[in-house]
Amino acid sequence: MGQATSSCQRFLHYAFDYETPKTLVVPSTAVGVVFRFTQLLVLLYLVGYVCVVQKAYQDMDSVVSTVTTKVKGYAIINGSAHTHRPQFGDVADYVIPSQGDKSFFVLTNMIVTTNQTVSHCPEDPQPSSICSEDSDCPAGLSVLRGNGLCVNFSNTIQTCEVISWCPLEKDTGPPEPALIDAAENFTLLIKNSVTYPKFNFHRRNIMPHVNMSYLKRCEFNSTTDPDCPIFRLQQMVSDAGEEFKEMAVKGGVLGIVIDWTCDLDWWAGECNPKYSFQRLDNNKNKEVAPGYNFRFAKYYKTPEGEESRTLIKAYGIRFEVIVIGIAGKFGIIPTIVNLGATLTFLSLVPTVTDWILLTCTKKRHFYSKHKTTHLRDEDDENKESMTMGTSYGTQ
């Protein structure tokens, strides 16, 4: 029973006796100042860089966003002699697709080939297509489907005949100036709603304080009207450092960047979108695939029931609404992690100061003698020795 009590006591001692390091207080002001100063540096890093600059105490989340757009405007076609199209058009004619996606194309220039039907016609004169007899024209699909005949292209030139949508498109480059550069006065309404799912945060780019009458007359301007969600195409292009009339000729891609980067902590103020514009296609290196164009067709039926089409090579500006954003909000985990890391560095300060104390001070032997006790291998269990010389401790 005495044994049991003893065991129990030993356990209690083991569990609840408090073991604490023995310390030595060194009254060296120089070392003390170095110690405090280093601590201060680490604390300044924690407060200044980690908290204020990097906001490393925050959890992060990426934006989830929905965008709808609406273009408004009317335009007249320049130099309608170039084309058989009507002289007037609206967004139903010029915006593709029409349903208001976050990426859409505004037609500014075009090459129109009307009344195409699938039939046969001579190719345009090119070194590879000029021929003098049928044997110069291999049948089969090379670029177009040749049928093996050599026919008159004009009175003087013969070219191979092909089966294709005829007449072939005459692509002599886009007209200059652009046919529909009046599209610069179209306006664009962007409706953008964003969510940060982790923080259950929802917001729209049309602010709650905006009313119908303001929306009817306002126009975005980065300095005077930064909250208005209505943009004039010409203004966006010029904010991106480009010239609309020039860009309209060969087309291009314009990014409308909506930046929702936000600090959602309550002391950080409002979370508002910032708009910026940049040209996304490479127009520096003019030679490599410049501009933006594509071909589309409108299909008709002739009164005889035959299908014909109008082929349009469309040049224009593709607008891409790009919503970016990372939100931060105070979080316990990142706070603990960053605090922990900094405290670890704080706990390195004594190691450094010890090294200075035992290496660089005049009284280093004196301090070392009191701080460090050296056991000797030959010491017996009942003997004890304090070395007097330099200490080669490891820690």
Binding residues for ATP are 70-72, 187, 293-295, 313
Pick the closer one to a copy of itself by CB: 95 or 150.
Answer: 95
Pick the closer one to a copy of itself by CB: 238 or 387.
Answer: 387
375 touches a copy of itself (CB under 8 A): yes
Name residues whose C-beta falls within 8 Å of residue 312's C-beta, 6 or more positions apart in sequence. Answer: 110, 111, 112, 113, 295, 296, 297, 298
Q: 117-176: which residues touch a copy of itself (CB under 8 A)?
A: 117-118, 141, 143-145, 163-165
Amino acid at 53: V
Binding-site residues sit at: 70-72, 187, 293-295, 313
Pick the closer one to a copy of itself by CB: 142 or 157.
Answer: 142
Largest CA distance in the chain: 128
Closest contact distance (angstroms) between CB of 218 and a copy of itself is 12
364 touches a copy of itself (CB under 8 A): no
Distance of alpha carbon 362 from alpha carbon 358, whole angstroms: 9
SS3 219: coil
Q: 266-305: which residues touch a copy of itself (CB under 8 A)?
A: 280-282, 285, 287-289, 292, 294-301, 303, 305
- Is residue 89 within 8 A of residue 180, CB to CB? The reply is yes
The C-alpha angle 170, 174, 176, rounded to 5 degrees, equals 130
Closest contact distance (angstroms) between CB of 227 and a copy of itself is 13
Which runs of consecutive H residues, i.e. helices, occur in 121-252?
Answer: 212-217, 233-239, 244-250
Closest contact distance (angstroms) between CB of 222 and a copy of itself is 19
Here the tokens at position 203 are 């917001």
Q: 238-257: which residues touch a copy of itself (CB under 8 A)?
A: 253, 255
Site size toward a copy of itself (CB under 8 A) is 145
Kindly indicate which of the ranges 12-20, 171-179, 236-244, 267-275 contains the residues binding a copy of itself, using the contact rule CB under 8 A: 12-20
Pick the closer one to a copy of itself by CB: 79 or 197.
Answer: 197
Taking the CA atoms of residue 369, residue 375, residue 379 and residue 385 in that order, the dihedral angle to the nearest 10 degrees is: 10
Pick the closer one to a copy of itself by CB: 116 or 235.
Answer: 116
379 touches a copy of itself (CB under 8 A): yes
Closest contact distance (angstroms) between CB of 151 and a copy of itself is 17
340 touches a copy of itself (CB under 8 A): yes
CA proximity to 389, closest of 374, 380, 377: 374
Distance of alpha carbon 380 from alpha carbon 377, whole angstroms: 8
Distance of alpha carbon 353 from alpha carbon 342, whole angstroms: 17
